[in-house]
Every structure is written in C-alpha cells, then in structure tokens.
Chain A
Amino acid sequence: MIDQKTLTHLQQLEADSIHIMREVVAETENPVMLYSIGKDSSVLLHLARKAFFPAKIPFPVMHVDTTWKFREMIKFRDDLAKEYNLDLIVYTNPDGVSQNVGPFSHGSAVHTDIMKTQALKQALDKYKFDAAFGGARRDEEKSRAKERIFSFRSEQHRWDPKNQRPELWSLYNTKKKPGESIRVFPLSNWTELDIWQYIYLENIPMVPLYFAKERPVVFRNGIWIMVDDDRLVLEKDEKPEVKCVRFRTLGCYPLTGAIESNASTLPDIIQEMLLTKTSERQGRVIDQDSGASMEMKKQEGYF
C-alpha cells in the first residue's frame, strides 16, 4: 500500500463500508448486525471486525433462524461465533414453531412471511434495536437499486420508497423518532463480483455449501433440492440422486436450488459465476413471482 498512489476499487469500497459502520455505531443507540450466514453476511462481518479492531465488534450479531436452514449453515455459524467471540443472538418466531410452520406444509410465501419477515420484526421489537446492518447490494434487484444506504423504517417496519431522504455526499442523517429504525446497507455499492473477489483476497471463511461436492438431491418444481434432513418427504416417483452440486445463494434448504457444478475452489466459483448466463437470485423461489414482488416484501418489512 505504501508505494501505491491510489486505492484499488475494492480498497475504496472497503474504506467506505467501514466509514458507514463506524457512523452507525457513533450515532445510534442500539445497533445490531443481521447475519444470514451467506457470502454477503460473511463480508459484512469481516468488515465489522476490521472497522473496530482491536476492539471487539461493538454490537450483537443476530441470526433469524427459520429452523429450515441447511445444517451446515448452523454449524458454520456456531463455530464462527465461538472463534470470533461474537455476541450472537439466534431468534426464531415462537408462534411459527408452535404452529409447525414450514415450507412444505404452508408453502414458501407463508413460510417466508411468518418465519422470516414476521420473525425479524418481532426480534427487532423485542431487543429494541434502532439500527440493523444488512448485507443487501444494489446490484441484486431493481427495487434495491433505488434504496438508500441508510434506509428508514416506520414503527411498523414499513419502507416508503417514495419518501426516501436525500443522501448527500457521505453525510448520513441518522435522526429518527422513537420507534422508528434504520436498515443500514454498507455493501450497497458492491457487486457480486466484488464480493467474491474480496472473499478471495481476504481469505474469508465460507460455508462449504458454496463449493461443489457430491450431495443427495431431488428434482422438484424445476430446481434441485438437497435432501438435508428427514423433513423432506419424498413423493412417490422421487428418488434422491447423488450429484456434484453447489449453491449460489443460501437460505432455507427446501427453497434453495442447487446447481450442478464442479467448482470446488474460490477461483472456480468466480469463473463459473462469470461464465454463467442466469442471475444470482434465480435460484431463490421467493423472487420468481412478479417483478415488483421484492419491492412489496420490502414495504412490508422483509428487510
């Protein structure tokens, strides 16, 4: 770095993200980081460790657990929390648990709403967090491309896309009324390639599910679903096959499609991503409805 006159684009993105995180810690009362165990969350966590080093991360890290995540994700989460000495909160919607809500019994829409959207709102209310970091990027989806880095939510956690505050220079207005909260997206300006490249350069640990391996899968509704536990009840003509697959995004295992792949290292993954012809979120069941579905979900409080 000493001999370089300018920062590379990744160094610029990193420095700006760290600035955003420090600003939140300095100006809000009770921030939290939402941690989904995926690649964007991993980068976010890494940046938080850098931003506050040598102090430990000065806020808790919260995982909203739908109880349907891949087992490997949960193990990775718990190992990492121990290694990094994280203040980890795991929250599950108790109503959903008592009603046995799941994607198979209730469908993806109801499951996502109760176990993810409602659970998140409950958790934010329970702990009275006034700011929550998320790993969303603007290049992911059209309505996200229009969202501010500091995005306000009403007391009911609603997003009003038509009434966003102007966000000028790097001057972030964190003023809010009691009950209102802010979603903060430090990775707003990162692209998918930036994320992977940063993971590669910084050697950030990743859930093994991102890497290709032989795994048992069934073909259902046009996507390969991994048989992660015995809650996946096989239909009559279904037979699990062992295929070399990996996942481009991670979520609830019944809602996350695997892709056939041999990419078992980071450079392999990046190469595969660059040569692929379908977008990242395509493997997610929840986005396939209509063009405005993400915007609607966001308005309702889905992060």
Chain B
Amino acid sequence: MSHQSNLIETDILGYLKDQEHKSLLRFITCGSVDDGKSTLIGRLLYESKLIYEDQLATLKKDSSKVGTQGDDIDFALLVDGLASEREQGITIDVAYRYFSTDKRKFIVADTPGHEQYTRNMATGASTAELAILMVDARHGIMTQTRRHSTIVHMLGVDKIVLAINKMDLVDYEESTYQKILDDYRTFATELGIRDFTAIPVSALKGDNITDPSEEMAWYSGPSLIEFLETVPLKTVNTAGAFTMPVQWVNRPNLDFRGFAGQITTGKIAVGDAIEVLPAKVRSTVKSIVTFEKEAKEAIRGESVTLTLNDEIDISRGDVLVCKGSKTEIGHSFVSTLLWMSEEALVPGKSYWIKTRAKLLSGTIQAPRYRLNVNTLEKSESETLSLNEIGQCECEFDQDIAYEPYTRNPHLGSFIIIDRQSNNTVGMGLIEDSIGHESWAERHVSERNKYWSKGIVSYADRVKQNKHKSLLIVLTGEVAREQYSNIGTALEKQLCEEGIRAYRYGFQFMRIADTDKQSITELRQDMFRHLLDIGYAFLDAGMVFITSIRNMSRKEAEELRVISKPFDVVIIDLDKQTSIADRVCSDFDTSKESLIADIVSRVKDS
C-alpha cells in the first residue's frame, strides 16, 4: 500500500517510529479544465505505490471503458469520484487524497478548474500551505491560471509551484517552458506573489514527477516530488503570542471549570498570565488538562482544556490571549470577500457570520470595489455575484477579538451564512478595523508618552543648522545597489550644500529572526524600527535619507503619520512597473534640479 520501505519487512517497529515523526504538507492542485490535475494526482498516488492491485485492476477496466487515454491507464479516473464527474470527465468537487513518501506525508486537495466551481477551489485553498498551479504547455497562462493565482495569493498560500504540464506534447522544448515562465513571472509580480517555482512535467508520461526527465536534460531543477518533499514548511509559531478561542466550557461538576479550545498561535504554560477578550479580564493559568495527565505547556495546534486561578465569566466565543498579543477588539471591518452563492450579495441584509470563535449577525455594505481577477483592475460595483472578489465594509452586531488575516488567518477569517437557506454564501478576510485608530497612530501616541524631551527646542536647531529637517525615503522595485548609490550620492551632495544630511542604510530582511515572525509582522516591526531611528534624526533637525523597498500606498500613509510633524519626501526609483498599489513619487531623481529642489524645500521658511 504505502511507498516501499525495506524497514516494513525487516523492522516494523523502527518503521513506525520513522512514520511518527514525518512532517505533514497540505497542498492543492488547481488549473484549467484539461490541464491534467487529476492525472497528476493519480500519477503521484501511483508513483508512491499507493494503489492496490485490486484498485489497479478496476482502473485498467475503467480506463478501457470510459478512459480518454486509449490503451494507457487514465489516472484521472482514480480521483474523479462522483458518477456525474466520470460521465462528464471533469472534476466538480474538491477531492482529498492522501499519500506519503519516505520523507513526508501529504494531504492533497484536487480542486476543479471550471469557473463555476471557483468556490470549491477556494475551499481547497483555505487549508493548504502550498499550491500547484497546472498549466498546459500548449496553451500557456490562461484566465483560470490568473484567477486561481489571485485566490491562492489572497488566502495567504505563499508556496506556489507552476507545473507546466503536457511537455510531451510540445516536444519537451525549453523555449516553450521559458516563455510560459516569463509570462507568469510578469503576472505574479503584478499580483504581489514574491516567489514561485516552475517545473516542466508530463503527468501522463511521468517526466519530472519523481525522477529527473531524460527528455528535458535542459532542466536542472528538482522533480515535483523532490520539491514537495523538501520545501520548508511554515515554522510552527511557538514564539508568537498565545491566542485560543474558547470553544466549549467544560463543567462536569461544581469543582471543575475548564475552557476547551484549539491553540491558534503561540504557546501557553501553567502560571502564564492571560487576558480574556473582548471583556479584557485577566487571570493566570492554573492547569492544562489533558486526558493522559496534566501538561506543563501546550503549543499551537493542540486542542486543550485550561483552568484558571480566578473565577471569571468566560463563554464560547471569548478569546484567551497572553500579554503582548496583538489581538484587537472590533466590530466593523474592511474585508476582502469572495462570494460563493448564485444569489448575489444583498448590501445591508442581515447574514449569519461565523468566526473561529462564534456565530453572530452582521451586515455587509456595497463593495468599495470589485476586483477583476484577470486584469487585477478594481471597478465599482453595487454587489458581488457568484465567484466574485471585492472589498466591503462589514458590520457585526457585537465586538470580536480579531487580527488582520495576513497576520493570523484563524482570527482574521469568517464565513457568511444566509439566514433563509442556511448555505455558506461567502468567505471574508479581515483587513482592518474601521473607526479605530491605526497601529501607526497608536505607535505615535505610545512614543509621545515615553519620549523624554531635552531643553534645546526644534526651533533652536533650525536656527543653528540653517535648515529644517526632512525625511527622504527611496522606494520602488530596483536593485539594492541602486538604493545605496542614489542614497549616498544624495547624502554627499546635500552635505556639500551645507545641509546636515545622514544616509542610513541597512539590510532589511537580515536583521530579525525570520522563524519567529510572519513576513508581515517582520516588515511592520522593521518599518517601525527604521522610522524611530529616523525620528531621532528629524528631531535633531537633520535630513535623514533611507530606503524601504517596494513601499505600498498604505505604508506611505503610515510613514507620514509616524513622522509627523516633520516633512517627508518619497522618491520612487522604479519607473517600469505599473503596480496598482504604487506610491506617488514626490521627486524625480533624473531631474537635474533634484538637489536644488531638496535644498529649497528645507531652506524654505
């Protein structure tokens, strides 16, 4: 049944020990209708020896009866489970498959390609850590590829494999592969996908599935299985702050009151201080009750029962967090929605909303915009119809403890349920709360609270320096060298003009321990750190020059908030790309008058 390991025969206990410590990767396969997803999964099962003889016999029988591969085995028949799917030869619903290799266990969600089944595809993507996007080498990047990429990216699946399939039908030509790769890179960059891996394969013939393809010697990257076996998994974030929604209160008798739930982030130990949200009541952990024995500590992913040292009122839907957690409280949110029902969104109508913690009521406003998943254009719309994505304001009837989806998907996601049909009609990803101060504003008030001012005033410094302070931030999608070249040149020329300028350069991603934080958190922390240093220079009356790669418009706004009341100049060095979220450039570095413009800006009184 399983992949062949000699240990099974010689040392079954040793084999079981090995199995126990294998890691688990959940991934989805998606693509257009005939790209060969089902064939690929059938092939993966076949290659990992997961098909029994009786199943193989049935498969051979079915292949000759209804298969589409002539005398060859039609692997797709292994996965198309529903009768109507076999009749139509297409995948309608998500099929979950399980296989393992010597290194890893895999749960595969095989998701449908048809546009009308986009919601089924999102179902598969919501629990996946990696996505295989299938592309037919003969057709290249299609509308569906773009739509699936958008959804996968929106749901935070950050490992993407572009499987360029049916290479056998294009004579295994490298140029075909290269062209598709280039096309996809352009689209992916525009979408904000930072990284992906392209592998040329033939699921039907088995090229680059387990072993390197002999037909494609020009390809030196990993085979598909090799990649799946070795791609680093999301580090289980035990360093993050503890959060656990209370699912059920366990009260077998008057002496025991336990709070049962699955830990969504971080870890917890006996004695740790916790806070109950949204009530903001505090206590400490008395015990971590498990079936075997009392545990001292529990980590993310575990389903546990906690007892506390104080008798406080906690019920299902409350969220337990530890000190320092970034979980916030709110009831109206800007959210990205994917609509999943034939009945379009009715703005203002009351829907059931289910979050990880509880069920509540809510209304949704007409979209701020609707996203065209093929062109990434944002357009006006009065509603969202089946399979459409848009950004909406959502208002819940009570406060919930939440975090933005990008930081904590468990506390940043919700589903929308129709009150009449009881169907799940949409999915929502919380971006930000409305009517609450932003983190940048909070950061400013925190900083003002702790900033100890000297007796030399800013006005005195302006008088002494003979110019005002200024923050110059270089941004855009350009090479690191370009940042430092332009930054140092600016610094030198401004100093020659008698301006007290300082260029601060450092390598953004290398500083922190990336294991412990999500990229978003990390970027926000670095951003804050950089601007705090900058703030000291600005307060000292100087011109501070630095760079922040690929700054978004939101970040630009935050930057101006954090640097208030000082003047800010943002210079976008990149003139090629046309990203929707691109910041506006205050100055053009190619203009000869650049230095003079800056000088006049700081000398202007």
Contact = CB atoms under 8 A, between A and B. Distances in A.
B123 A292 contact: no
B236 A165 contact: no
Interface in A38-72: 49-56
Contacts of A268: 12
B303 A18 contact: yes
A231 interface: no
A8 B10 CA distance: 24
B280 to A, nearest CB: 23
A182 to B, nearest CB: 11
B354 A55 contact: no
Interface stretch (B80-88, B200-208, B527-535, B577-585): B80-88
Name B's interface SS: mixed
B93 A270 contact: no
Contacts of B79: 142, 145
Contacts, number: 208
B55 interface: yes
B385 interface: no
A148 to B, nearest CB: 9
B295 interface: yes
A252 B299 CA distance: 43
A27 B356 CA distance: 13
A15 B299 CA distance: 11
B52 A278 contact: yes
Nearest to A172: B354
A27 B360 CA distance: 13
Most buried by A among B19, B316, B355, B409: B19
A134 to B, nearest CB: 16
Nearest to A190: B98
Interface stretch (A29-37, A120-128, A193-201, A236-244): A193-201
Most buried by A among B95, B238, B298, B414: B95
Contacts of B422: 173, 175-177
Interface string A64-85: 0000000000000000000000
A99 interface: no
B55 A175 contact: no
B55 to A, nearest CB: 6
B114 to A, nearest CB: 13
Contacts of A12: 24, 301
Contacts of B316: 26
Given A170-B356, A278-B52, A15 B94 contact: no
Nearest to B413: A169
A168 B303 contact: no
B92 A162 contact: yes
A53 B62 CA distance: 48
A62 B47 CA distance: 41
- Which 10 pairs of residues, A with B, have the shortest CB-CB distance? A142-B81, A55-B252, A18-B303, A9-B24, A175-B422, A279-B52, A50-B291, A271-B12, A292-B83, A6-B236
Interface of A: 1-2, 4-12, 14-16, 18-19, 22-23, 25-27, 49-56, 138-139, 141-146, 161-162, 164-173, 175-177, 188-189, 191-193, 197, 200-201, 267-268, 270-271, 273-279, 282, 291-292, 295-296
Given A145-B96, A177-B422, A278-B52, 12 more contacts: A9-B105, A11-B302, A52-B260, A53-B289, A142-B82, A166-B120, A171-B354, A189-B96, A189-B107, A273-B1, A282-B52, A291-B58
